[in-house]
Copies of this chain bind each other. A is one copy, B any other.
Amino acid sequence: MTATSDLGAARPASPDLLRSVFRRHPAGVAVVTARGRSGPVGFTATSLASVSAEPPMLSFGVSTGGSSWPAIAETEHVGVHLLGEHQQALAATFARRGADRFGPGTAWREGPEGVPVLDGVPAWMVCRVTARVPAGDHRIVVAEVLAGDPTGHGRPLVYHQGRFSGLPD
């Protein structure tokens, strides 16, 4: 062990520090959907994580400034989809402010509990929201998995260094 003075390049926290760290942290790419009062909503999330095995639960973050928040704030159920490396355009659509996310370029159907389920994804789940935890400018949504299909085709899409890509074979 050496002294704290050896901690070299440590710098105080800032949004920029957080961004610099997480640019180096690869993440699978998900799209979260819900049935809103005036139609389906959804957004791309790189914060999806498995939380608990018994009962099966997951979490993801949602910006309270985004277009999906009003629906996510009051919905009982959400759809959670893992995107494949062939779905980069879909990931971009669900991340772009003002995009027509459920337009002609998005194939979907109504799934269990009325949640929008996207076609052609490697895996999807329908979940019941159990908590929306305030955390700065976001909420952490905690949800229990009700049903799902892990058998879709495709290798995963990965977000890293601000870009979407695939994984090595």
Identify A10's interface contact among B26, B61, B136, B148, CB under 8 A.
B148
Q: Which of A68-76, A86-94, A103-111 contacts B (4 or more CB under 8 A)?
A: A103-111
Interface residues of A toward B: which range? 35 or more
Partner of A17, one of B135, B148, B160: B148
Number of identical protomers:
2
Q: CB of A98 within 8 A of chain B? A: no
Q: Does A112 contact B (CB under 8 A)?
A: yes
Tell me whether A99 is interfacial, beta carbon within 8 Å.
Answer: no
B-contacting residues of A (Cβ < 8 Å)?
1-4, 6-15, 17-28, 30, 46-61, 82, 108-112, 117, 122-123, 125-126, 130-131, 133, 135-138, 140, 142, 144-151, 156, 158, 160, 165-168
